Structure 1
């Protein structure tokens, strides 16, 4: 291999075009360096021979100086005036220097150019390769389509936006899969929100580190006309979700998860009456039994329970949707109880995400709409309960079951929004647009934060019109739906 930089550059370009795996500009990543000798730079005053190797035992620098001295000793005496050589040797070039002859795009094959598309999308090609690829894209439609797809994929690598995927993406992927191969036992439509929200929360939990499971989380709800807070950890939140999910386990004939934690003895579980039904009591029982505090080990039993609930509900058939699930002070049909659990998974998933600084989006519009609808259907009973406790104004009309009565028009805007008419005077009455005495407008996520007790009723409403007392009663009733 000659010491001339042009020859070294030519061979290197040939190898780059045939075997190069794109890397940083000018790099040859897949080149066997042992098979290519480095060009030898000439010593002062002359060019190097093809294989300039200094004599063994003599340092390379000293050998060069000795050769130079010997050449000078054999030269005849010449005048001191320098002479211009007829054809001076060109200055040695680095191995990867680009000469004018090399500046034009290399004539690369279609397969080589196609292999460079990934590096081109990442802006990792050399200038010559970039020119060759872009020239090829103007004439090759398949490669142009592939290049566009790769550039879109590169956009997902940017970290300046949210790292959380669109909540609707999972639904679209599942719909596409089920369109090709229908499920042998499909998940009921009323259980899909719980399935989606437990999967999203589990994805968040997989991404956090061991230390994040001990990060402090502030739980907040509305009780006795004021905000109440409770501090726990990420692991404590998942234990809370598992403890309350046990209410659905009992309704479906499954084992109570509290029994596996040691929070309840076998006799207590078998007796039934000793098992706490209130979500708050169940959570306190679990937290008291798990000391030292729970760690990430709680994720596996919680996720196994969510899978078992969905599987059992799917196999049980249509009649199970109306099976009653007792919460102690109230009861919900199973289809509403699973929707309630989906809502709590989202709310507490947001609490966890804020504690560990992780992006977390609201549910899909369809699932959020169902959650809002459940809260709106529960409001007449909540109003009646507050009225019985002297926390709301007395009814102004006597309305029979199924008859239209006074109502408040609840207008929920934005994501998952809609219109609901909340009966004011009786939980058995029907809210009627013709009998609306007031209107209140809120954003969909804001209404859910009110129902979760994360914002106060005074701060919630964006727009109010009509009977102020009726509006106040509806907003405070919405906040009263929250709990630990």
Structure 2
């Protein structure tokens, strides 16, 4: 009614569209409950379903259950596991569970880093194993790069860790002793001697070799600490070589994690401290070698006031 008491004009008289309620049979309305719960019905269907729910108790109960189920499918928080959970659990196990045969303190970083990398590799499919990775290192003053895959990186670790295996009297993954070959020479030799491209099949021998190295130095009770490990142009005591390989494992594990877009944490602080200590101890010798080969200027004398 208008304020003057007269009835409002009929909208149909002005030619306006008047919506007509959608009339549907019960079985059709019941079949629409799922779509209604997902808010996938048209406006007319929604009106028809909601009008029906006021009259049909059975459908109203079903609609309520469906809406609750839809609510579970749209949780604001992700149901995926934290990608770093595996690493945290592994770190906790390594910290709290003492091994039956104690691992020498100087071999613990290698044991931990190879275990972390092994855990990362466990769930890899073929696509991840063939993900591209670019290795980078320095030769003299020039940076050298080599494009490979995740499987190729593991093959590299297998070949270079073989210098320690050979020093301990274990099998050389190359199948022969290539003299005093350095890491890059050993890697190239291994890549040439195996089918190309590398596949996930390299995981098992790498894993077995890491276990054999840790097991061997543990059984010796530290008596093998004084062994020397040849690295081509230089040698390292066994305990330093194990630290060097722990560092290499960590660096290349990060290369792999970056290639597959997976988070990867640094080593445990006590292990990282040992790696840094090794680098500091090796630095003077490395600088002296560069000076002898003419790649670095002589040391400067600093005058004190």
TM-score, reference length from structure 2: 0.72
Deviations 1:315-338 (A, max 9, x none): 012221121111121111111111
How far apart are the structure 2 equivalents of 1:290 and 1:351? Answer: 22
How far apart are the structure 2 equivalents of 1:201 and 1:389? Answer: 37
Deviations 1:189-240 (A, max 9, x none): 1111111111111111112211221221101112232322111111111111
Picking from 358, 371, 379, the partner of 2:262 is 358
Deviation at 1:276, TM superposition (A): 5.0
How far apart are the structure 2 equivalents of 1:286 and 1:92? Answer: 74
Partner in structure 1 of residue 92 of structure 2: 172
Deviation at 1:92, TM superposition (A): 3.1
Partner in structure 2 of residue 383 of structure 1: 287
2:288 corresponds to 1:324:
no
Deviation at 1:245, TM superposition (A): 0.9
- Structure 2 gaps of 5+ residues are 1-25, 28-53, 63-70
Structure 1 pair 156–199 and aligned structure 2 pair: CA distance change class (3 A): farther
Deviation at 1:366, TM superposition (A): 1.4
Greater relative contact order structure (CA < 8 Å, 6+ sep) = 2
2:94 corresponds to 1:94:
no
Partner in structure 2 of residue 208 of structure 1: 124
Deviation at 1:355, TM superposition (A): 1.5
Aligned residue for 1:394, secondary structure, equals coil
**Paired residues of 1:217 and 1:231 also in contact (CA < 8 A):** yes
Picking from 258, 282, 302, the partner of 2:206 is 302
TM-score, reference length from structure 1: 0.46
Partner in structure 2 of residue 187 of structure 1: 103
Q: Which has the larger radius of gyration?
A: 1
**Paired residues of 2:86 and 2:119 also in contact (CA < 8 A):** no
**Paired residues of 1:213 and 1:296 also in contact (CA < 8 A):** yes
Q: Root-mean-square deviation (CA), in Å? A: 3.0
Deviations 1:394-440 (A, max 9, x none): 2356xxxxxxxx8xxxxxxxxxxxxxxxxxxxxxxxxxxxx9x9xxx
Partner in structure 1 of residue 191 of structure 2: 287
How far apart are the structure 2 equivalents of 1:157 and 1:228? Answer: 43
How far apart are the structure 1 equivalents of 2:93 and 2:143? Answer: 40
How far apart are the structure 1 equivalents of 2:191 and 2:182? Answer: 14
How far apart are the structure 1 equivalents of 2:77 and 2:233? Answer: 51
Structure 1 pair 315–223 and aligned structure 2 pair: CA distance change class (3 A): same
How far apart are the structure 1 equivalents of 2:153 and 2:161? Answer: 12
**Paired residues of 2:113 and 2:267 also in contact (CA < 8 A):** yes
**Paired residues of 1:166 and 1:361 also in contact (CA < 8 A):** no
**Paired residues of 2:227 and 2:238 also in contact (CA < 8 A):** yes
**Paired residues of 1:238 and 1:302 also in contact (CA < 8 A):** yes
Partner in structure 1 of residue 272 of structure 2: 368
Aligned residue for 1:227, secondary structure, equals strand
**Paired residues of 1:276 and 1:282 also in contact (CA < 8 A):** no
Q: Give the structure with the higher percent strand.
A: 1
Aligned residues: 244
- How is 1:41-80 mapped onto 2 (pairs within 5 angstroms)? none
**Paired residues of 1:243 and 1:258 also in contact (CA < 8 A):** yes
- Structure 1 gaps of 5+ residues are 1-59, 62-89, 99-122, 126-153, 260-268, 398-405, 407-434, 438-484
Deviations 1:158-179 (A, max 9, x none): 56xx61248565343234333x
**Paired residues of 1:167 and 1:364 also in contact (CA < 8 A):** no
**Paired residues of 1:194 and 1:341 also in contact (CA < 8 A):** yes
Structure 1 pair 383–306 and aligned structure 2 pair: CA distance change class (3 A): same
